[in-house]
Amino acid sequence: MHLHSPSLVLIPDTFLSTSDNPSGASGKRPHSTSMLVEFVREEFPGVPFEPVGRRYWNDTGAGSLRIRYIPVDGTMMIDPDTAKNLELVGNMTHKKSVHSLFGILNHTYTAMAARLLRVNILSPITVQASIDARLDVVEEFVQNEDRYTEVRDALKTLNKMDFDKLIVALASQEARITNNAKPASARVLQMLNLRSVVKNLPLLQKALSGSKSQLLKIIHSLISDERLAKIEALVSTNLNEDGAPAKGGIGAVNARVYAVKAHCNRLLDVARETYKENVGDIFQLNRTLSEEHELPLTLVYQDTGFYFTLKKSDLDGELPKGFINVSMKKGKWVFSNMDLKKMNARMKDALDETLVLSEKIIQDLVAEILVDVGALYKASEAVALVDMLWSFAHASIIHNYTRPEFTGTLAIKAGRHPVLETIQTAGTLVPNDVYCDDSSSFQIIQGPK
């Protein structure tokens, strides 16, 4: 459960007290909730519990269903208590602190690489050939500054991108056709994000070309798949070149409105022109009111439409009559008027129509893209792996780590605790030497008295 955080936990309804589950179907109710349930709640706060009738758990007799978790071959399982005590993925004192092994090593740019790092810390690989292959990549990044820099710059273009979730979202909604603007808007944004990914993958491909390590060569081949170029061509044919997803405000809305190229659908072109005129009318209203009242009014966009803002220092006295819904936010007056509300309503209708029509075109595009979805999944895995290995290299450089050698003897020269090293004052941490073999298998390391 720690490796793969649950979204829902099924439990027998008899594990819950009457107060926790008053609608339970079973006749016998305990006075208190099971300690097992309380423990799971503590470990996974916010995860919902779904009580199931006891009879569905023991229809065929007690003990008839045995569930055993079998780890993937070549990995080592670490139990939750050990992971917690060693602070592998979280700090025991402060949950949001980065003072853990995960926090020290996590310099990843993409969300899927951060997840991969977490899984590798909690279930590290044990096959020496695989470990050496990864160490070869880290060593190449550390020793080749140009390679290190080029890969970093390529990963920055994919910053905070969650390729895995994007692919799942596209595939799960393939068959859904909607006339609702909200899911249509989300669909257009997904396609803009996909376009950003496939457009920037060649940068990473170029950064990895000529790599010496075998693992980097494999990663390079995965992101050089011809099917990815085909997907990029499909997206470029249907979406505008400058239709990059914006962070927020009217820029983000315009990115969705003009995502699909012109002349793909006559009705879409008309809806976009109407939207453009409505937005123009709103900005003209802002200029007119600014001149009329001699005030530097500014338009700000949010989900409900535009509203006026004015710095508190720019207003002496009260606002002129005609302005409504007046409030103060962060040193600015925020308000509207009836004309703006009417224009917002017309603009919103045109916007919704534009997004719905755009989504219908994108729906056909998604169907073509999903034919080659396997290439997208492999590319996602490749990006996550190279991002994680680059993160290892970055941590190695800033903390001056050394490449380990695996032999029959454990010998550590001047070993430092990675977390203590970051929180203690420079020069105060005392390194320790450790030696362990068949004749010396037990040591006591004593700190300062």
Alpha-carbon distance of 267 to 319, in angstroms, equals 42
pTM for the complete prediction?
A: 0.76
Nearest Cα residue to 338 out of 321, 319, 324, 318: 324
Which tokens is 335 given?
């308000």
Alpha-carbon distance of 372 to 399, in angstroms, equals 41
Determine the pLDDT at residue 200.
92
Determine the pLDDT at residue 66.
64
Determine the pLDDT at residue 383.
96
Determine the pLDDT at residue 133.
96
Rounded CA Rg of the chain:
29
Positions in the chain short of pLDDT 50: none
What stretch of H or E contains 271? helix 266-293
Which tokens is 387 given?
């991002």
Residue 46 region by backbone torsions, left for phi larger than 0, else alpha for psi between -120 and 50, else beta:
left
Which tokens is 449 given?
């008295």
Determine the pLDDT at residue 152.
96
Determine the pLDDT at residue 433.
87
Write down the mean pLDDT value for the chain: 86
% helix, strand, coil for the chain, step of 5: 50, 10, 35
Alpha-carbon distance of 8 to 5, in angstroms, equals 9
The strand pair at 49-52 and 9-12 is best described as parallel
- Crossing angle between the packed helical segments 338-369 and 249-257, to the nearest 10 degrees: 50
Distance of CA 23 to the CA centre of its chain: 37
Domains of the chain: 1-69 (no CATH), 101-243+367-399 (1.10.1420.10), 266-365 (1.10.1420.10), 407-449 (no CATH)
Determine the pLDDT at residue 103.
93
Residue ranges of alpha helices (H) inside 144-209 are 145-156, 163-172, 181-208
CA atoms within a 13 Å half-sphere pointing along the CA-CB vector of 406: 8
Which tokens is 300 given?
């700000």
Q: Residues near 343 by Cβ (< 8 Å), separated by ≥ 6?
A: 278, 281, 282, 285, 306
Determine the pLDDT at residue 27.
52
Alpha-carbon distance of 21 to 191, in angstroms, equals 43
Distance of CA 73 to the CA centre of its chain: 28
Alpha-carbon distance of 125 to 215, in angstroms, equals 15
Which tokens is 389 given?
């290995």
**Torsion angle (degrees, nearest 10) of CA 104, 108, 110, 115:** -40
Neighbours of 16 (CB within 10 A): 21
Using an 8 Å Cβ cutoff, are 151 and 100 in contact?
no
Alpha-carbon distance of 44 to 94, in angstroms, equals 16
pLDDT digits (tens, 9 = 90+) for 289-339: 999 988 999 999 988 899 999 998 888 888 888 899 999 988 899 999 999
